[in-house]
Chain A
């Protein structure tokens, strides 16, 4: 597999905070790679280092086949970056924002390109509306359109769907997949599990370190997690009794049901044995990505604190 991003030994500190530690990032060309991890785990910092917005303390490797520390200028030309917070000009109209981006990148045939982009967004009737007056979902679509206007080979998205309604999120992901199908490499950070499942690959980082990576299936299998699901009246209330029991890594209610996970089968079964009686109904299920991530988060906290 060829990698659009292949960087190792990435480090970044702010003051005495070591935000990114010896991180290796590999993103397959033409793939959508989900970048997951708890708040403050270094996702944004990593994305910013990859697109030249932050200078790494150390690290080497290639982005789009270019030395990412020396060729930041060339990489910027071929990279689109959508920030976590809306960062287009709120006091410019939609059209003016797009025209500005087109000018900064020196794109040819600007007028037609801007019109095309507006049409694709379905915003041609509101082209003169100020960007600041758009709703969250529209702002996000506009920001994406601006980030891909120069047809970048690599697209970095920093929590692009935070605070956006489910329908807009669905449409957004359809668009991301369409872009990837055209050959664009996408790296997207997110907190949403359903979004993680929509990615080709997943990289999970916590406390600035890479904890797990691979496809969703590989990550689940690699975790070695065994999960039992209890159903029945009041099953969710068992979590308090099971949490912290020997062999139980975590017990989390899912609606009226309960997921109990652990890494050692015997200990886990022993822990739930007292509750394997009516009215509860127990099944072994495949752990969800969320189970795995919460487990990973707990583990890494133990390792680092």
Chain B
């Protein structure tokens, strides 16, 4: 072994590293951005979850109970429903994580000490988002009405506790994590493979020199793009079928329906992901850079989309970033369709976001793609 030779290789390697500016930048910027982004954004104990209430007993006891629930910091009451149907819809469409129903006989039963109940329904399609909040409800009945149960109704305090909280976990009653993760994996796997595969596509042609021949032919940019992406649409569809079949057979993931919306959403997502890869490959100069860019895209897709950590657990700014990520919307479509059986009427916003993604990325890719070597 010769130290001088090791040194020679080392110096050469460092010099080459500094030549590739983009790689250099990514090596420095990626850890900083991701550390800050994910470090602050990810939270396994989400608080302030949006909650809708249906108050059928407008009383001091009801108000105190709701006050106590809000006081736990886990629940933010953002909607007041007038009918049970409104309440159900708020949860189905994903506007709220919880619904609370205070029945009409609440006050009467509390006063009588006759097994008063309030109903808390949790959207358990993401069990990790609801677990801690549900646990926080355990001590509630003891504390909520302490100050109200005075004088004539004071004896009700003795009959501890004055009411009980009935918790229904909807969409995934046994809180099985796989029900949430497996449909989500569809989005993550499609992103990973499709973005990366096409990101290398154009860059490879430049690196190998075949782009020069291709550009000398009369083929047009849109023709190259469609021709390059079409085979991968098929790849994406095959992946989707395989993943869904395994999800059903191995993990018993419920499939509540919503096949129409799922098909449209999947198609949009596949095309958008492919076009995004194509766009990246018009920016990257080498295949290595294209790979790095894909990773840079895929990490937030996993961490900020609600795939791995509850979307609502993230601070507002992180949710805002998450909203820009296409996987977020695709996950809502997949989970909404499979776990909740939602249709177009419920998921049009997510489909709209995915359509916008396709249009923007395709236009950018077309604008970036050059018919010359300039």
Other than the known A53-B212, A83-B213, what 5 A-B pairs have Cβ atoms closer than 8 Å? A55-B372, A76-B216, A86-B209, A88-B213, A105-B217
Closest to A150 in B: B217
Closest to B210 in A: A87
Chain A interface mostly: loop
Q: Which residues of chain A have C-beta atoms less than 8 A from B210's C-beta? A: 87-89
Interface check B208, CB cutoff 8 A: yes
Q: Which of A51, A55, A86 contacts B374 (CB 8 A)?
A: A55
CB distance from A8 to the nearest CB of B (A): 21
A-B pairs, top 5 by smallest CB distance, nearest first, are: A87-B213, A81-B216, A87-B209, A85-B209, A104-B217
B210, B211, B214, most chain A CB atoms within 10 A: B210
A10 to B214, CA, bound (A): 24
A-B contact pairs, 20 of them (CB 8 A): A51-B216, A52-B372, A53-B215, A53-B372, A54-B374, A55-B374, A76-B217, A83-B209, A83-B213, A85-B212, A87-B210, A87-B211, A87-B212, A88-B213, A89-B210, A101-B217, A104-B214, A104-B217, A104-B219, A105-B217
Q: How large is the interface on A (under 10, 10 to 19, 20 to 34, 35 or more residues)?
A: 20 to 34
Interface check B3, CB cutoff 8 A: no
CB distance from B90 to the nearest CB of A (A): 54
Q: Which residues of chain B have C-beta atoms less than 8 A from A48's C-beta? A: 373
Interface check A285, CB cutoff 8 A: no
Q: How large is the interface on B (under 10, 10 to 19, 20 to 34, 35 or more residues)?
A: 10 to 19
Q: Which residues of chain A have C-beta atoms less than 8 A from B215's C-beta? A: 53
Closest to A82 in B: B213
Interface check B218, CB cutoff 8 A: yes
User: A104 to B216, Cβ gap below 8 A?
Assistant: no
User: B373 to A90, Cβ gap below 8 A?
Assistant: no
Interface check A73, CB cutoff 8 A: yes
Closest to B213 in A: A87
Q: Which residues of chain A have C-beta atoms less than 8 A from B374's C-beta? A: 54-55
Q: A83-B212, A87-B209, A87-B213 are in contact. Are A104 and B218 (CB under 8 A)?
A: yes
Interface check A77, CB cutoff 8 A: yes
Q: Which of A51, A77, A90, A146 contacts B208 (CB 8 A)?
A: A90
CB distance from A49 to the nearest CB of B (A): 9
A190 to B216, CA, bound (A): 20
Q: Which residues of B contact A (CB under 8 A)?
A: 208-219, 371-374
Q: Which residues of chain B have C-beta atoms less than 8 A from A54's C-beta? A: 372-374
Q: Which residues of chain B have C-beta atoms less than 8 A from A79's C-beta? A: 216
Chain A 9-35, CB within 8 Å of chain B: the 1/0 string? 000000000000000000000000000
Chain A 74-103, CB within 8 Å of chain B: the 1/0 string? 001101010101111110000000000100
CB distance from B258 to the nearest CB of A (A): 40
A146 to B213, CA, bound (A): 10
A86 to B218, CA, bound (A): 19
Q: Which residues of chain A have C-beta atoms less than 8 A from B371's C-beta? A: 52
CB distance from A196 to the nearest CB of B (A): 24
Q: Which of B209, B216, B218, B219 contacts A53 (CB 8 A)?
A: B216
A52 to B220, CA, bound (A): 13
A53 to B217, CA, bound (A): 10
A51 to B215, CA, bound (A): 10
A101 to B213, CA, bound (A): 10
Q: Which residues of chain A have C-beta atoms less than 8 A from B217's C-beta? A: 76, 101, 104-105
A74 to B76, CA, bound (A): 65
CB distance from B224 to the nearest CB of A (A): 10
CB distance from B322 to the nearest CB of A (A): 39
B217, B371, B372, most chain A CB atoms within 10 A: B217
A52 to B370, CA, bound (A): 12
A52, A54, A87, most chain B CB atoms within 10 A: A87
Chain A 122-160, CB within 8 Å of chain B: the 1/0 string? 000000000000000000000000100000000000000
CB distance from B219 to the nearest CB of A (A): 5
Q: Which residues of chain B have C-beta atoms less than 8 A from A76's C-beta? A: 216-218
CB distance from A1 to the nearest CB of B (A): 27
B214, B218, B219, B371, most chain A CB atoms within 10 A: B218
Closest to B215 in A: A53
A77 to B208, CA, bound (A): 24
